[in-house]
Amino acid sequence: MPAEFPDFRLGSVLATSFTATLTERQGDRVERIPTPQRLIDWLAVSGLAVESCSTAQLELARELREAIHAAATAAANREALPASAVRVINDRSIHGRAAAVLTPEGNRRWRLSSASRVADALGVIAADAISIIAGERDGKLALCASPTCRAAFFDTSQSRTRKWCDMNTCGNRQKKARFNANQRKKTKD
């Protein structure tokens, strides 16, 4: 991957990993899929390899990403789901024709149709979002405690009290900020 693009933040939940392709939503936004090729790259590392992607398909993907983020944020806050977000998620789910297949190793993989691979990949992501927003999986939707991030993530920790979307970025940044503030306070006293 070219160095001019930021690394992907990959988690264990497809839908929330997809929403993490736009980070620092409340600060200086970082777009991790700025081009069709970067969407192809993200889909490949997420087990949904496609051969090509148009600018229009990238826009559909971004629309889905924002719809998932809006619905997940509402669900995490125990608010009504935005109707427009539900409509986009459902539309992308309906338009996908991917099939779950079992590998000889006993793992699930997705087989995308040859005709419309990006639509299929978006359908898989939308279906994953539906399963977590509907509460079908063991875990809970939460929002990152970082005031600049506010990413939606799926908390599967035993206590369901995780605060950060990613401890290596947001969590460490907040801990460092607290440490520096305490150090400044100590030098003033």
Q: Kindly report which listed range (3-7, 25-29, 51-55, 160-164) carries the lowest average pLDDT score.
A: 3-7
Q: Alpha-carbon distance 183 to 127, whole Å?
A: 47
* Residues 159-178: tens digit of each pLDDT: 888 888 877 777 676 676 66
Q: Alpha-carbon distance 129 to 76, whole Å?
A: 13
pLDDT at 2 over 50: no
What share of residues in the chain are helix, strand, coil (percent, to 5)?
Answer: 50, 10, 40
Chain centroid to CA 53: how far?
19
Q: How many residues does the chain have?
A: 189
Higher per-residue pLDDT: 125 or 114 = 125
